[in-house]
Amino acid sequence: MARAVSTRRKVFYTAAAWSVALLIFFPVFWTILTSFKTEASAVASPPQLFSADWTLDNYAEVWGRSDYPRFFWNSVVISVGSTLLGLIIAIPAAWSMAFVPGNRTKDLLMWMLSTKMMPAAAVLIPMYLIFQRTGLFDTRTGLVLALMLMNLPVIVWMLYTYFKEIPSEILEAARMDGASLGKEIIYVLTPMAIPGIASTMLLNIILAWNEAFWTITLTTVNAAPLSAFIASFSAPQGLFYAKLSAASTMAIAPILILGWFSQKQLVRGLTFGAVK
Amino acid sequence: MKMTVRALLGASAMLALTGAAFAQTTITVATVNNGDMVRMQGLMADFNAKHPDITVEWVTLEENVLRQNVTADIATGGGQYDVITIGTYEVPIWAKQGWLESLNDLPADYDVDDLLPAIRGGLTVDGNLYASPFYGESSFVNYRKDLAEKAGITIPDAPTWDDIKAAAAAMTDTEAGIYGICLRGKAGWGENMAFLTTMANSYGARWFDENWVPQFDQPEWKAVMTDYVELLTKYGPPGASNNGYNENLTLSLQGKCAMRMDATVSAGSLTDPAQSEFADQVGFALAPDMGLGKRANWLWAWSLAVPASSDAKEASKTFINWATNKDYLALVAAKEGWRNAPPGTRTSLYSNPEYAALPFAKMTIDSINAADPTNPTTKPVPYVGVQFVAIPEFAGLATSVGEIFSAALAGQKTVDEALAEAQALAVEEMTSAGYIK
């Protein structure tokens, strides 16, 4: 009897999970479908799930009109660069917060998180001026710095949560064996925290890849990533939905593939410390 | 020895001159994504061949993002953009701020006198031209001739609002999915408020009196809003309060709007058999009036301007001269036909017999000529602009008012409630901005 209830529940939860997943994935699926339609089919009423006249013209036109490889390379450099730089700063910070906390460590963590609650537009002009005066405007270095600072609270929080799970006795043993602080972090802590660091890295690459406000505002030509590539196909006056969908699909495809292959690490990183 | 020195000096001078001749100037052009701008990017081979010393980099952005980025850049003197795409609303405001470079010194072949007077007037401040129009537009009525014929009605070339109401009633066939009239309902200063402001002009209503006091509490606005809500509620498509330019154009291309009032620039799409199922059945008429001497049509141009912060002003002006010259229209015509030439900027385009033969050419030029930015409505106003008020506060205020009116259209509030709310909001905004003492 108990087994029957359990199976029913299992079916219910599975169905619910699939429903939510399909609901979330549907807009992406619709975008991908639309990218293969003609502009007329893309806006057909009632909407057509499958078009009678599939075409690759939208991809050809988007490719022909834009320098996709340059946008793509900028996205790679900016997202990977900001994440690696963030990790270099966040690992020692999270170590100190997890293993040698002070009286104000919790407050500091909360303050770091609170900076994420500030609307980006509130600091638009100061950021703009700083980037212009320092020559960082429209440079990949500038965006690496900006996105690193933006995602640093998330990186620190994730690593802190992960480091808290590692027994401090192991680090103490290394110290008793004569390991310096640097060696303790590099040779003892980091290898044990590799899964956590990997999931943090993946999540932050995705966050940086998808960031649109600063990457569009602080670039023009040289450092513009794929978010700017999509924006260049958006038009309030003109019917370009199919081309916009093709551009969107080209922009999200790399990160979708990365997410697909690393979903185990991602889920682990997101749920770590949630259940103890 | 002297000879050697002279020879060396001569060689150096030659080298310097050669270097200067091939010195490459790169200009960054910020633009919006629409058909005419995309077409221009496709024709860049012509510019590159004529000006090999100028490299053009493009930044294409959605209209509102472009406005935000360009404003931030110019206000902070950044100089990231050398040529910007700018609307008629911004030109007088930005020119007065000293943000734009005067274009009075464009070469003679630019032929400034060929620009349509109404469009040129909107881009001129204190006698100086600050932007060169790339394409201009007004608004007019497009309708399906087959449906009008079936309903036994004739839509005059210069209709009144009563004609429009009667035609909408006669052509509506909701069971067949045909809606008598499609008008902008989506909230936004460039969406429903662009249309409603022109409708108000034709009804004798105005945004502000001579002392900048908002006028939404006047009977003219009550008549405008009552008719607008009634027209769309009775004869408009479902969910009209969510429909903007794109949505109504889509419905028209599918033949579901028997009649639509919107931008003249959409005529090319409506009469193109590749885009429209009813391309050969489209008729055009001027925007309607109430017999008061003002029609409900607007005036807009997307223009190219040089920000004062640009460090490549000469090269930028060379590019603008190429992109907005008469020769460019001929280039588009030669490559893609006269139908695709950017409309609404030059008198010579409309005197060209091939262009004049297009079904929308006459109505477009008549509509543009009927708009008067300095005298938009029947009563005196303290502002310039047909479908907008050229003050910096307008975009924010009109978007808020647009949300209120869109809610009235959606049935969330009555016309009286919406007008009272709009009046209170406008009075508060104009008082805090210092217009009302």
The closest of B304, B267, B284 to B135, measured between CA atoms, is: B304
The closest of B68, B2, B1 to B30, measured between CA atoms, is: B68
Q: Please answer yes or no on whether B246 and A237 come within 8 Å at the CB atom.
A: yes
Question: Residue B21's pLDDT band (boundaries 50, 70, 90)?
Answer: very low
Q: Which helix (H) or strand (E) holds A168?
A: helix A168-176
How would you classify residue B177: left for phi > 0, otherwise alpha for psi between -120 and 50, otherwise beta? Answer: left
Residue B287 CA to residue B169 CA, distance in Å, equals 18
Q: Please answer yes or no on whether B61 and A124 come within 8 Å at the CB atom.
A: no
B14 against B25, higher pLDDT: B25
* Full set of structural domains in chain B with CATH: 2-137+300-356 (3.40.190.10), 139-297+392-432 (3.40.190.10)
Q: Please answer yes or no on whether B62 and A240 come within 8 Å at the CB atom.
A: no
Q: Check if B256 contacts A (Cβ < 8 Å).
A: yes
Q: What is the CA radius of gyration of chain A?
A: 23
Q: Which helix (H) or strand (E) holds B303?
A: strand B300-305
Beta bridge partners of B25: B54
Per cent of chain A over pLDDT 70 is 93
Indicate the residue of A125, A232, A238 with minimum beta-carbon distance to B61: A232
CA distances to A109, A116, A158, A197, B415 from A87, in Å? 16, 18, 11, 8, 57
> Which residue out of A215, A237, A245 would a mutagenesis test of the B interface target, given it has the greatest number of B Cβ atoms within 10 Å?
A237
Question: Residue B8's pLDDT band (boundaries 50, 70, 90)?
Answer: low
Mean pLDDT for the stretch of residues A174-200: 86
Q: What is the pLDDT of residue A271?
A: 66
- Average pLDDT in chain B: 91
From chain A residues 204-243, the ones with a CB under 8 A of any chain B CB are: 216-217, 220-221, 224, 228, 231-240
pLDDT digits (tens, 9 = 90+) for B23-69: 789 999 999 887 788 889 999 999 999 999 999 999 988 877 888 88
pLDDT digits (tens, 9 = 90+) for A205-244: 999 999 999 999 999 989 999 999 998 888 766 668 899 9
Q: Please answer yes or no on whether A40 and B263 come within 8 Å at the CB atom.
A: no
Mean pLDDT for the stretch of residues B281-293: 94
Residues in Cβ contact with A244 at an 8 Å cutoff, skipping those fewer than 6 apart: A230, A233, A234, A235
> Which residue out of A43, A213, A220, A229 would a mutagenesis test of the B interface target, given it has the greatest number of B Cβ atoms within 10 Å?
A220
Indicate the residue of B75, B80, B245 with minimum beta-carbon distance to A138: B80
Spell out the long-range contacts of B382-386 with Cβ–Cβ below 8 A and sequence spacing 24 or more.
B382/B208, B382/B209, B382/B210, B382/B211, B382/B212, B383/B207, B383/B208, B384/B92, B384/B122, B385/B88, B385/B89, B386/B197, B386/B198, B386/B201, B386/B297, B386/B298, B386/B299
- Sheet containing B83-87: give its strands across: B54-61, B25-32, B83-87, B300-305, B132-137
Q: Check if B68 contacts A (Cβ < 8 Å).
A: yes
Q: Which CATH class is domain A66-232?
A: mainly alpha
- Average pLDDT in chain A: 88
Q: Please answer yes or no on whether A236 and B63 come within 8 Å at the CB atom.
A: yes
Question: Residue A78's pLDDT band (boundaries 50, 70, 90)?
Answer: very high
Q: Cα angle at B413 between B184 and B231, to 5 degrees?
A: 40
Mean pLDDT for the stretch of residues A139-166: 93
Residues in Cβ contact with A190 at an 8 Å cutoff, skipping those fewer than 6 apart: A91, A197
The one-letter amino acid at B366:
D
pLDDT digits (tens, 9 = 90+) for A89-120: 999 999 899 988 988 999 999 999 888 888 88
Question: What backbone phi and psi angles, to 5 degrees, belong to B430?
Answer: -70, -30
Examine the pLDDT at B92 and tell me if it is beyond 80: yes
The closest of B298, B321, B301, B264 to B86, measured between CA atoms, is: B301
Nearest residue of B to residue A131, measured between CA atoms: B78
Burial class (CB in 10 A: 0-12, 13-18, 19+), B293: exposed
Query: What interface predicted TM-score (ipTM) does this complex get?
Result: 0.76
pLDDT digits (tens, 9 = 90+) for B366-382: 889 888 888 999 999 99
Whether A242 contacts A35, CB under 8 Å = yes
Mean pLDDT for the stretch of residues B248-259: 92
Indicate the residue of A65, A220, A240 with minimum beta-carbon distance to B80: A220
The one-letter amino acid at A38:
T
Question: What residue ranges do the domains of chain A occupy?
Answer: 66-232
A-B CB pairs within 8 A amount to 90
Residue B75 CA to residue B100 CA, distance in Å, equals 11
The nearest CA of chain B is from the CA of A241 a distance in Å of 10
Q: What is the pLDDT of residue A276?
A: 41
Examine the pLDDT at B423 and tell me if it is beyond 50: yes
Q: What is the pLDDT of residue B241?
A: 94
B400 against B5, higher pLDDT: B400
Q: Which residues of A touch B72 (CB under 8 A)?
A: 124-125, 128, 217
Mean pLDDT for the stretch of residues A20-41: 91
Q: What is the pLDDT of residue B17?
A: 45
Q: Please answer yes or no on whether A231 and B256 come within 8 Å at the CB atom.
A: no
Indicate the residue of B62, B73, B275 with minimum beta-carbon distance to A235: B62
CA distances to A231, B61, B73 from B66, in Å? 10, 5, 10
Q: What is the pLDDT of residue B363?
A: 87
Instruction: Tell me the angle at which helices A68-99 and A105-114 cross, rounded to the nearest 10 degrees.
Output: 160
pLDDT digits (tens, 9 = 90+) for B394-409: 999 999 999 999 999 9
Mean pLDDT for the stretch of residues A132-152: 95
Question: Residue B282's pLDDT band (boundaries 50, 70, 90)?
Answer: very high
Q: What is the pLDDT of residue A53?
A: 80
Residue B197 CA to residue B214 CA, distance in Å, equals 13
Q: Please answer yes or no on whether B68 and A217 come within 8 Å at the CB atom.
A: yes
Here the tokens at position A25 are 């994935």
pLDDT digits (tens, 9 = 90+) for B197-252: 999 999 999 999 999 999 999 999 999 999 999 999 999 999 999 998 888 998 99
Residue B250 CA to residue B164 CA, distance in Å, equals 21
Tokens 């647009």: give the residue.
Answer: B402
Give the 3-state secondary structure of residue B188.
Answer: coil
